Amino acid sequence: MLVKSQAIILKKIPYTDHASVVTIYTREIGLQRFLVQGLHKKISKNAYYQLGNTVEIIFNHKTNPGLLRIKEISSIGAQSAYDDFGIQQVKWFYLEIVSHSLQDEHSDPSLFDFIYGHFLKLAPGANLNFLPITFLLGLGMELGYEIDWRVGQNAAIDLTTGNLATNATPIFFKSDSWMNQAILKIMDGNLPDLSKSERRMIIDKLVAHLQHHLFPQKQLLTLEIFDMLNSQ
């Protein structure tokens, strides 16, 4: 069956001298692995397969096991963003979070549209100080791990349920009143006046929540980029 789908390039591993196995997140059928040949030639479509690229692909979907093959690929989004170091660093953070959070090949168009839309926002002029926060907030909601930020001032939040912790709660983190208020503003479409350390603390809390549910045994390698970005 011939399938046309929006997609995000997530991972690329050399397979032979002339081919790579590319993991691609597609809107139509979720995570899939493709065998792509010719990427190591002087003239190739390698530019389409850079990690984090937003593309549209056409491929034959088969039900039997094995790698799929792409018939056509085209770029979608601001390709000029490749020259922006800050954008590339945030994109790597998104890639790490998404790669750890997607569990299987199941297709979820709503989740895909959210993730795809945030990758498209990584264009020149983007507010890189707040995009990672809105990405983490929205991703938690899409995956069903929403935190109740209206639980009150200086509240302890249960990592398992996202609600107010009790004396019996085994795993929790402390949410200060300024953080609750700032996140509620962000969720309402307003950008609060936050210092770089405050933005980083919010990111740490949101990552800890997702990590608890989705990738407890894995550590993120890209968090240090926000120290660099927030210092600007």
Rounded distance between C-alpha atoms, residue 84 and residue 201, angstroms: 25
Q: Which of 76, 99, 122 is the last residue of a domain?
A: 76
Q: Tell me: do 63 and 121 sit in the same domain.
A: no
pLDDT score for 11: 93
The domain boundary residue, chosen from 39, 61, 76: 76
Out of 96-100, 151-155, 209-213, which region has the weakest mean confidence (pLDDT)? 151-155
Does 124 or 73 have the greater pLDDT score? Answer: 73
Question: 177 and 118 in one domain?
Answer: yes
Cβ–Cβ < 8 Å for 6, 54: yes
> Residue 160 is part of which domain span?
80-230
> Does one domain contain both 212 and 145?
yes
Cβ contacts of 1 within 8 Å, gap of 6 or more: 60, 61, 62
- The CATH number that applies at residue 59 is 2.40.50.140
Smallest CA-to-CA distance from 141 within 108, 99, 174, 178 is with: 108
29 shares a domain with 144: no
Same domain, 104 and 10: no
- Tell whether 97 and 198 lie within a shared domain: yes
> For the purposes of burial, counting CB atoms within 10 Å of the CB of 153, is it exposed (0-12), middle (13-18) or buried (19 or more)?
exposed
% the chain with pLDDT above 90: 44
Statement to judge: residues 181 and 224 lie in one domain: yes
pLDDT digits (tens, 9 = 90+) for 18-29: 889 999 999 999
Q: Examine the domain organization and report whether 54 and 97 are in the same domain.
A: no
pLDDT at position 113, please? Answer: 97
Residue 42: pLDDT above 60? no
Q: Is 159's pLDDT higher than 80?
A: no
Residue 213 has pLDDT above 80, yes or no: yes
> How many domains does one find in the chain?
2
Residue whose entry in the numeric block shows the structure tokens 């200086």: 154
